[in-house]
Structure 1
Amino acid sequence: MAGKPRRPLTLSVDERRTLQGWATRGKTAQVLAHRSRIILLCADGLDNTAVARRLGVTRDTVGKWRNRFIDRRLDGLGDEPRPGAPRTLTDAQVEEVVVRTLEEVPEGATHWSRRELAARVGISASSVRRIWRAFGLQPHLVEEFKISTDPLLIDKIRDVVGLYLSPPEHAVVLSVDEKPHIQAIERSAPVLPMMPGTPERRSHDYHRHGTIDLFAALNVATGKVIGKLSAQHRAVDFRDFLDEIFHHVEPGLEIHVICDNLSTHKAPVVHKWLLAHPTVHLHFTPTYSSWINQVERWFAELQRRRLDRGVFCSLDELTRALQEWLKHWNENARPFTWTKDADQIIGAIGRYCARISGPGH
């Protein structure tokens, strides 16, 4: 039996911009973000079945929000009134919670707690929590940022992202960096294993048995990593690692190495090596922009899955653990997927700079 024909859906420029903003809110407004993604995919011409498959929902759910949006546009994506007890919070109280959260801090503190704000406004702490969740407010969280001051910021972003999204032919692109001072840490008491109802437990104090540095080169196409352990990370050590990279790569291929602006990467001994190896090209990331170097994502995996909870009674034990991690990773290598193009990144930086350049800053 033929399915019910879907209703055509088109978006104005303002509606698309609003929906794209809602769709990227993530955890702060998951329900609205999910509905916005449904509408955006519908507007791209996908039928209900394709949208449902893409987002992991049912066709009826897609049809419901398609029809709600066509009938009521953006207002149709909100929740309809539900039966139940009468609302006890007034609009004025909700506004006061939001305004105080955004514009004030309690005396002697840097941010509001639910109980403090509830006592000030005269409502329950659970009501404050619901208001914060509805408006995506998280006063207990803070994020750090650093805007690059590199005069070649835009050129370097286009260069590095271009290598990720459109690598040259007959070439290999490697994301390279060092992870210095990896500590061989032994806890002062034996680690107690996880049991039903009880997580793994460990002492907060430890004994340190030395440190080691790890050089890593991530092949952005295959996900495989060339690694080298070193007692230091001097310019000569970086040169030796470049030499190891050169001998690992298939002969005849151009080698594009993405690295940061560390002085050891620009030392005379490195320049001399590069002159002797004309097929190797260094590409530098902007200053204060380690996030653009894909090998940092690999280092994060190493830290989370092997080092944070690792116990190493000697430097040799740490060395073996790192070598085993490299071997295991390369046996199951998978590349990281870069999704943002240079224009999107530059645009996001520009919008952020505009936000922090107002009178309040």
Structure 2
Amino acid sequence: MPVCSAAPVELTASERHRLKKMAYGHKTPHQARQLLAARGRANARIVAETRLHVDTVRRWRGRFAAGRVPALADLKRSGRPPTFTALQIAEVKSLACQLPTESGIPLSRWSCPELAREAVTRASTEKISASTVRRWLKDDALKPWQHRSWIFIRDLNFRATAQRILDLYGRVFEGAPLGDDEYVISADEKTSIQARCRCHPTLAPGQTRAMRVYHTYGRGGALAYLAAYDIHRAEVFGRCEQTTGIVPFMKLVEQVMTIEPYASAKRVYWIVDNGSSHRGKSAIDRMASRFPNAVMVHTPVHASWLNQIEIFFSIVQRKVVSPNDFTNLDEVRDRLRAFEDRYNATAQPFQWKFTTTDLDDLLASFDRHTLTDRQERSSTALAA
């Protein structure tokens, strides 16, 4: 009866180095056996040294000779039989795509434990863990515990109004370029900046330690911060008031319009949102009567993100206000004034990249979303 000869194995230098590394692994015993086989040992000797069955040695040696190192990887296995059916998985995913209130559940949004609990309540399955539900949802990128807010455009002249703002950022107004004696100011109010006096001093950061701010605080009052930002000269003019309103805003306007170069400018365009301090035609007339060379330009309704002063306010929030630790309102005022001087010393105009082309793309996406929403509602009504 013929004797089966061992499959010849000749290693390259890289294969020998890789197998030698693998031979020291606790979970790779067969790779080590192939390394022994490659040294010229017969299968019988490898069996005697490793105490493995001869069929095991022969199988791994043959697989390595046929497919080299990649052939040593474990073959795919069928695994444990599925515990849940495709229908059960689909029912849980369908539940995750519904609002809890639609099913009479007193929740604002689903979580994985709540979905698992509801699946058992509905007898979709006898038991299921939250981690299993989370794994199912992850396959379809479903995250019912998250939410995003949105709003429809209410301004019928949204595009024309927004284009005026974007044109001013590009030094154009009503199709004509701005002259050297024309300026663009972005203005608004940041309300309710509180003076929170911490009950224990704030600790400075150290090695492997962040700055530590005590949670409990005493209230020292609140103030409003009004600011006007020259978008092309990158200069901020601010003031602190007890509250917002028409009078405080007009004080800010007077603070800016009575100094050069704005006092003698041909035109100074003031970009503002639709807040109560400067809303409507009455605000436009009020400013024009007080300063004839001032032109108030409103952003569209619910589009204050077009106002560049909001970018400056976000900088103030990050660098001055947070974390809020002030002994009194005077300290808040002094800090804001000092930050204005510091900011104006090095500020550069914001790199505004949102153009009218981007505006058209945004409005087109709104139209597509509105059309899709109407089609879905129509389909739901017909199905009902």
CA distance in 2, matches of 1:137, 1:166: 45
Alpha-carbon contact 1:149-1:287 (below 8 Å) kept: yes
CA distance in 2, matches of 1:217, 1:325: 14
Query: In the alignment, does 2:235 pair up with 1:224?
Result: yes
What is the CA-CA distance between 1:302 and the residue it aligns to? Answer: 1.5
CA distance in 1, matches of 2:85, 2:256: 66
Residues 65-95 of structure 1: CA deviation (Å, up to 9, x unaligned) = xxxxxxxxxxxxxxxxx97885957654553
Tell me: CA distance 1:124–1:102, structure 2 relative to 1, closer, same or farther (3 Å): same
Residues 178-208 of structure 1: CA deviation (Å, up to 9, x unaligned) = 1123211112333345566665444443222
Query: In the alignment, does 2:343 pair up with 1:319?
Result: no
**Aligned partner of 1:169 among 160, 178, 186:** 178
Q: State the partner residue of 2:254.
A: 243
Alpha-carbon contact 1:165-1:338 (below 8 Å) kept: no
3-state DSSP of counterpart to 1:103: coil
Q: Which residue identity does 1:217 align to in structure 2?
A: A
What is the CA-CA distance between 1:327 and the residue it aligns to? Answer: 2.1
Query: In the alignment, does 2:325 pair up with 1:298?
Result: no
1:100-115 mapped onto 2 (5 Å cutoff): 100-103=95-98, 105=100, 107-115=105-113
CA distance in 2, matches of 1:102, 1:328: 50
3-state DSSP of counterpart to 2:110: coil
Alpha-carbon contact 1:236-1:269 (below 8 Å) kept: no
Q: State the partner residue of 2:269.
A: 256
Larger mean Cα displacement after TM superposition, 129-138 or 321-330: 129-138
Q: Which residue identity does 2:270 align to in structure 1?
A: V
Query: In the alignment, does 2:327 pair up with 1:332?
Result: no
What is the CA-CA distance between 1:154 and the residue it aligns to? Answer: 3.2
Query: In the alignment, does 2:360 pair up with 1:343?
Result: yes
Larger mean Cα displacement after TM superposition, 327-336 or 124-133: 124-133
3-state DSSP of counterpart to 2:147: coil
Alpha-carbon contact 2:287-2:294 (below 8 Å) kept: no
TM-score, structure 1 length as denominator?
0.65
TM-score, structure 2 length as denominator?
0.61
Q: State the partner residue of 1:286.
A: 300
Name stretches of at least 5 consecutive residues in structure 1 with no aligned partner: 1-81
CA distance in 2, matches of 1:94, 1:263: 52
**How much is the aligned-residue C-alpha RMSD, in angstroms?**
3.4
Number of aligned pairs?
A: 280
3-state DSSP of counterpart to 1:144: coil
Tell me: CA distance 1:153–1:339, structure 2 relative to 1, closer, same or farther (3 Å): closer
Larger mean Cα displacement after TM superposition, 296-305 or 247-256: 247-256
**Aligned partner of 2:91 among 80, 90, 96:** 96
What is the CA-CA distance between 1:166 and the residue it aligns to? Answer: 5.5
Tell me: CA distance 1:154–1:275, structure 2 relative to 1, closer, same or farther (3 Å): same
Larger RCO of the pair (alpha carbons < 8 Å, separation 6+): 1
Tell me: CA distance 1:293–1:130, structure 2 relative to 1, closer, same or farther (3 Å): farther
Q: Which residue identity does 1:228 align to in structure 2?
A: R
What is the CA-CA distance between 1:259 and the residue it aligns to? Answer: 0.3
Tell me: CA distance 1:329–1:127, structure 2 relative to 1, closer, same or farther (3 Å): farther
Q: State the partner residue of 1:210.
A: 221
Query: In the alignment, does 2:174 pair up with 1:179?
Result: no
Structure of larger gyration radius? 2
1:184-195 mapped onto 2 (5 Å cutoff): 184-194=195-205
CA distance in 2, matches of 1:311, 1:144: 31
What is the CA-CA distance between 1:320 and the residue it aligns to? Answer: 1.0
Q: State the partner residue of 2:149.
A: 144
Alpha-carbon contact 2:284-2:295 (below 8 Å) kept: no
Q: State the partner residue of 1:135.
A: 140
Alpha-carbon contact 2:191-2:225 (below 8 Å) kept: yes
Larger mean Cα displacement after TM superposition, 225-234 or 314-323: 225-234
Larger mean Cα displacement after TM superposition, 192-201 or 329-338: 192-201
3-state DSSP of counterpart to 1:112: coil
Alpha-carbon contact 1:174-1:258 (below 8 Å) kept: yes
1:42-121 mapped onto 2 (5 Å cutoff): 92=87, 94-103=89-98, 105=100, 107-118=105-116, 120=119
3-state DSSP of counterpart to 2:185: strand
Tell me: CA distance 1:114–1:165, structure 2 relative to 1, closer, same or farther (3 Å): farther
Name stretches of at least 5 consecutive residues in structure 2 with no aligned partner: 1-74, 120-124
Tell me: CA distance 1:283–1:131, structure 2 relative to 1, closer, same or farther (3 Å): farther
